[in-house]
Structure 1
Amino acid sequence: MEVKMKAVPVIAVFDVGKTNKKLFLFDEQYKIVFERSARFTETVDEDGDPCENLESLRLSVFDSLREVFKNPAFEIRAINFATYGASFVYVDEDGKPLAPLYNYLKEYPKALQNQFYAAYGGEAEFSHRAASPVLGSLNSGMQLYRVKYEKPELFRQIRYALHLPQYLSYLISGEAYSDLTSIGCHTNLWDFTRNDYHEWVRKEGIIDKLAPIVPSDSVIPAAFPGNNYAVGAGFHDSSAALVPYLINFHEPFILLSTGTWCISLNPFNSIPLTADELENDCLCYLQYEGKPVKASRLFAGYEHEQQVKRIAAHFGTDVIAYRSVPYDPQLITTLQQANQSDRSEEQRGGGLKESAFGKRDLSQFVSDTAAYHQLMLDLVNQQYISTNRVLQGTAAKRIFVDGGFSKNVIFMNLLAAAFPQLEVFAAYMAQATAVGAALAIHKSWNTKPLPNDIVELKYYAAGTVLS
C-alpha cells in the first residue's frame, strides 16, 4: 500500500531586488525548502528612462505561485513580500496599473523641487521633520507630487498609489493597504516629529491616493475562494532584514548591512536627526513595530568595486584575486605609520562622499596586496565615521555585520580595531530580507515557537578573529 507523504507547511516569500527577483519557501524552522529566481530586462518609461518591467513582474508572481501550489510536497499557509523601496505603482479603480513603475534614480525637475521645499518650510526644516536628506525621486512622496503637477490627468485617475511591496500583496489579496516600513523610508511622506503623515500630504490631496495603514505584522485572507492562506501586507527590504536581529537579540545593537550601500541601522536610537547628520546621509526608517530606526548610509560597496578594478588594472592582476585576501596585521601597522597624517585628517573631517583611496598614487605601493590593505583601511576609516553617527548617545554594545563585507576578514578585523569598546560580529544568515518578511507574520502561519538560533555569529576581537 502506498504511503502518502504529508505536505510540509510553508510560507512563500517574494524577495524583489532591483536585479534579482526570488521566491523562497520556508518551513516552520525557517529553512529554505524551495527557491526560484528570475531576472527581467528593464523597459523604459515615456521619457526613455529605464524602469522595472511591471507586467513581467506581475506575471512572474502568478507563474511562480501556480508552480508551488501545484506541488503536493508543500502546503502554503502564508505569502509575504519584501521589495526595494521608493517605488510606487499607481492603480485605477479596477486595480490596473496606470503608469510605468518610475525608477527612483529618475532625475527630479529642479524647479518643481524648489517649489515644493519653498512651500513647506525650506530644505533644512523639512528634512528634519521627514528625517531624510533631499534625495529627489528617491524621496518617493516627491514622485506623487510630480505626477500631480506634471500629469494632472493621470493624478485624477489614480485610486491608490501603492509602494511596490503593497502592490504585490494587493495582487494576491485584492486589498489595498499602506505599510509603515515603506512609508517611513526616506519618502518625505511621514513627519517623524509628529508620528503622522506630514501636513503637505493632506494639503496637496495626496492623502486621498494613499491606502489605509495596517500594522506590518497583519495579514489579509487570500482573494481566491477556497484557499485558506494568509497574505502579508509586504515589507520594505531594509526593514525586513532587521527583523531576525530584533527577534533574536534584545540587548541594544547596530546592524551594519553591507552591499552596494553600507547602511548602519540603530533600532535603539530615537534621538532626532541634526542638520549635520542629514547633510551626511543619515536618515530614519520606521521598523516593523512602528519605532524609528536611525540609519546612516555609505556608498562603500560601490567604492570597493571601483577601486579594486583600479588596483587590478595597475598591477595587471584579476579582480577575482581580491575576493579573499588574508589579513596581514604587520602590513596594516606599516601602512598606518606611513600615513599617520592622512588618517588624523580623515578622522577629523571625514569626507563621506568618497574615500581617500581614490586620490592615492598606486605606484607608491610595493604590491597589490599593500594597495588592497590600504583601500580597506580607507574604507573602514569612512565606515567608522558613518557608523559613529548613529552610535553616539546610545547604549549599543554590539555591531552585527551582514552582507558582502561580513566575509571580508580585512574589513572585519579593521572594524573591530576601530570600535575596541564594542563587540563586533560577522553575522551569517541566508536570505535575511526574506526570512524577516516571514518572521514578521510568524503567528499567522507557524505553529512552532519563534526560533532563537536563526543568526550565526563569528566574533572579531580588536585585531584577531575567534571562531
Structure 2
Amino acid sequence: MEPIPVIAVFDVGKTNKKLFLFDENYKIVFERTARFLETHDEDGDTCENLDSLRLSVFDSLREIIKHKEFDLKAINFSTYGASFVYVDEYGKPLTPLYNYLKPYPPELGRQFYNSYGDEAGFALETASPVLGNLNSGLQLYRLKYEQPDVFKKIKYALHLPQYMSYLISGQMVSDLTSIGCHTALWNFGKNNYHNWLKQENILLKMAPLHPADSVLTAEFPGNGYKVGIGLHDSSAALIPYLVSFNMPFVLISTGTWSISLNPFNQTPLTADELKHDCLNYLQYKGKPVKASRLFTGYEYEQQVKRIAAHFNQDEIRYRTIQFDPAVVAKLQNQPALKANEKDGELQKSAFEQRDLGAFTNDVEAYHQLMLDIIAQQTISTNYVLNGCTVKRIFVDGGFSKNSVFMHLLACAFPHLEVYAASMAQATAVGTALAIHQHWNSKPLPHDLIELKYYSGVQSEVV
C-alpha cells in the first residue's frame, strides 16, 4: 500500500498543544494533544515550558517519520501571539518565554510613550491598542532597559511560531502575521517597521521578513520535507474562509472572545475604533484585516451560571435552548436598559445590571441575556463593517451552535446573509493551506466549511 502524502501541523495554544496530520484532502489522519506543566520566570510569574515544547516537537517528528503509512511532505506551525523567544547567535534561548499577561511596569510604559508620542497617536500608527506586554514590541523594549546584558546577547527576537519553525529548519525568519498583530512594531501607514525600533537599536534584532506562504528546507533528519515559517493563530483561522469565498464577508470568531474580522476593510483605524477595542492586523498575504472584539464568551458563561443558580437549573440546559420569537417579542416591549461603558470600552452587556426576579422563568431570562449580548455584538461588528460593502457574515466557534444567538444576529443584520459556519480545526487547516502549493498535488478544496443559513426576515420578531 502506498504511503499517504501528509502535512504535519503543530497548533500550539496556551493550554493545549496539538499535532495534526492532514492528507491532501485536508482530512485529519492522525492527531495528538498534549499539555505541559508551566514553569516560572525569574520574577516567579508562570510561563510556557519552552524545553518541554521543543522536546515534544522533536519526539513527535521522529515518530511520524518512522510511520510507514505516511509520506511527510511538509510541516507548519501556528501558535498564540504576543510571545517572543530571544535567541543568541547559536539559536539558544536566553530567557524564559515570558507570559504576555505579565504586568508591564507603569514607569517604563510612560517612558516609552513620552519618547514616541502620546498613546492615542502611537496606537493609531501601529494599529495597536495600548496593552502592555500584549504589545510584544514593548516586551523587547522592557528587556533592553531591565536586562541590558541579556539584550546585548540577542541575535534575533523570534515570535513563537518562527522559533518553532527554526527548530526544524535551522533558519531564523520573521513573519508578518505575527509582526502585524497588536505588537506596536509595525507602522500600518508606511507598511514597514515603526521608526522607534531603529532608534532603540532593536531593528537589528528582527530576523529577515519572509512571506507567510513560503517554505524553508529542513535541517532535522527526514526525507526532504518542506518547513513553513509559522503563523499567528488568528491569521491562520481566517485562511480557510479566504480560500473558500471570494465575495466580501465578515467572520465573527466566537469563543472566550468574540472577534469580528473583516479582511476586505482596508480603511485606517480611527481613534474611536481604537477606544472601542478595534485593531488592524496583517493576514498571511500581507493585507490588513480590521478586527473588533468583545469579551462575550466569558460574560456569557458568568451570566448563564447566574441564571442557573437563580432558577435552580443545570447549566447544561442552556446549551440546547431554542429560539422563541414570542418570548423575544415580549422582551422587546420592555423599557431598554443601556450597558455601562467604562472609559469608552464596549465590553459588557446590560444583562449584569438586570434583576433576575423580574423574569417569569429562566428561558425568558436567557433570551434577555442573548438580546443584550447581540446589542453589544451589533455595535462591535458594525465597527468593521463601516466603509466596506459586505454581503455575508459567517459565525464560527461556540455561538455558531447557539440557536438564539444566530437567529437574533440575523435579525440584527437583515440586509446581510448570516451563516453559522463549522469546520474541524480551522486554525490547523489554515496553517496547512498557507503552504498548499509547496506540498499538495491536488487543487485547493472548496468543501472545507459547512454553512447553515439564518434569515433575518423569516426569524424577524415584531
Fold similarity call, TM over 0.5:
yes
Partner letter of residue 72 of structure 2? I
Match of 1:423 in 2: 417
- Residues of 2 paired with 1:15 and 1:123: CA distance? 33
Please name the residue that 2:297 is paired with. 301
Match of 2:104 in 1: 108
2:58 matches 1:65: no
Letter in 2 for 1:62: F
Q: Which residue in the other structure is 1:342 paired with?
A: 337
Shift of 1:375: 0.9
Residue 81 (structure 1) aligns with: 77
Partner of 2:375: 381
C-alpha contact (below 8 Å) 1:414/1:463 kept by paired residues: no
Counting only pairs closer than 5 Å after superposition, residues 110-259 of structure 1 correspond to structure 2 as: 110-224=106-220, 227-259=223-255
SS of structure 1 residue aligned to 2:31: strand
Cα offset for 1:168?
Answer: 0.5
The aligned residue for residue 446 of structure 2 is 452
Query: Using the alignment, how far apart are the partners of 2:428 and 2:283 within structure 1?
Result: 15
Q: 1:226 to 1:456 in 2, by over 3 A?
A: closer
Question: Structure 1 CA distance, aligned partners of 2:344 and 2:113?
Answer: 28
Matching of residue 461 in structure 1 with residue 418 in structure 2: no
Write the distance in 1 (CA, Å) between the matches of 2:287 and 2:15: 29
**Which runs of 4 or more aligned residues in structure 1 lie more than 6 Å from their structure 2 counterparts after TM superposition?**
none
Q: Deviations over 1:314-370 (max 9, x none)?
A: 12222222112111111111111113x326x789x9961211111111111111111
CA distance in 2: counterparts of 1:193 and 1:301, whole angstroms: 33
Alignment correspondent of 1:394: 388
**Residue in 2 aligned with 1:18?**
14
Over residues 354-401 of structure 1, what are the superposed CA-to-partner deviations in whole Å (9 max), with x where a residue is unaligned?
111111111111111111111111111100000000101101110010
2:423 is the alignment partner of 1:436: no
| Contact preservation (8 Å) 1:413, 1:463 | no
Long gaps (5+) in structure 1: none
Measured in 1, the distance between the counterparts of 2:234 and 2:186 equals: 17
**Cα pair 2:296 2:347 within 8 Å, conserved:** no
Q: How does 1:317-328 map to 2 (within 5 A)?
A: 317-328=313-324
Label 1:137 to 1:226 Cα distance change in 2 as closer, same or farther (>3 A). Answer: closer
Q: Distance in 2 between matches of 1:34 and 1:463?
A: 43
Tell me, yes or no, if the aligned pair for 2:414 and 2:457 is still in contact at 8 Å. Answer: no
Partner of 2:365: 371
Correspondence for 1:50 = 46
Shift of 1:157: 1.2
Distance (whole Å) between structure 2 residues aligned to residue 63 and residue 9 of structure 1: 20
CA contact (8 A) 2:240 2:426 kept: yes
- SS of the residue corresponding to residue 220 of structure 1 reads strand
Structure 1 residue 57, shift from structure 2 partner: 1.0
Which deviates the most, 324-333 or 71-80? 324-333
Quick one: structure 1 residues 264 and 331, their matched pair in 2 at CA, closer, same or farther if it must change by over 3 Å? same
CA distance in 1, matches of 2:172, 2:345: 43
What is the match of residue 311 of structure 1? 307
Tell me if structure 1 keeps the 8 A contact 2:10–2:76. Answer: yes
Q: 2:257 aligns with which of 251, 261, 266?
A: 261
CA distance in 1, matches of 2:345, 2:107: 29
The separation in 1 between residues aligned to 2:211 and 2:357, in whole angstroms, is 56
The CA RMSD measured in Å over matched residues stands at 1.5
Aligned-partner Cα distance in 1 for 2:262–2:229:
24
Residues of 1 paired with 2:316 and 2:57: CA distance? 34
Distance of 1:158 and 1:47 partners within structure 2: 20
Partner of 1:12, secondary structure, is: strand
User: Does structure 1 conserve the Cα–Cα contact (< 8 Å) formed by 2:277 and 2:345?
Assistant: no
Conserved? CA contact 1:244–1:454, under 8 Å: yes
CA distance in 2, matches of 1:417, 1:432: 27
Q: Given residue 336 of structure 1, which amino acid in structure 2 is its aligned partner?
A: Q
**Retained in 1: the 8 A contact 2:65–2:222?**
no
Separation (CA, whole Å) in 1 of partners of 2:25 and 2:306: 44
Q: Partner amino acid for 1:413?
A: H
Aligned length: 458
SS at match of 1:342: coil
Q: Secondary structure at the match of 1:200?
A: helix
- CA–CA distance in structure 2, aligned partners of residues 353 and 447 of structure 1: 45
Contact 1:11–1:25 (Cα < 8 Å) also in 2: yes
Q: Deviations over 1:289-314 (max 9, x none)?
A: 10000000110011111111111221
Query: Alignment partner of 2:290: what SS?
Result: strand
Letter in 2 for 1:293: V
Measure how far apart 1:453 and its partner are.
1.3
Distance in 2 (alpha carbons) for counterparts of 1:225 and 1:21? 22
- Tell me what 1:409 maps to: 403
Q: Could you tell me which amino acid in structure 2 is paired with residue 196 of structure 1?
A: N
User: 1:92 maps to which residue?
Assistant: 88
TM superposition shift of 1:225: 5.2
Name the amino acid aligned to 2:56.
S
Give the percent of matched residue pairs that are identical in Structure 1 and Structure 2: 68
- The Cα shift of 1:434 comes to 0.5
SS at structure 2 position matched to 1:100: coil
**Larger deviation, residues 218-227 vs 57-66:** 218-227
| In structure 2, distance between residues paired with 1:234 and 1:382 | 34
What SS class does the counterpart of residue 26 from structure 2 fall into? Answer: coil
CA distance in 2, matches of 1:226, 1:450: 26
CA distance in 1, matches of 2:425, 2:344: 33
Give the CA deviation at 1:132. Answer: 1.3
Change (3 A) 1:189 1:411: same
1:350, 1:385 within 8 Å by CA — same for their partners in 2? no
Which amino acid letter does the alignment assign opposite residue 81 of structure 1? F
The residue number in structure 2 matching 1:271 is 267
TM-score, normalised with respect to structure 1: 0.96
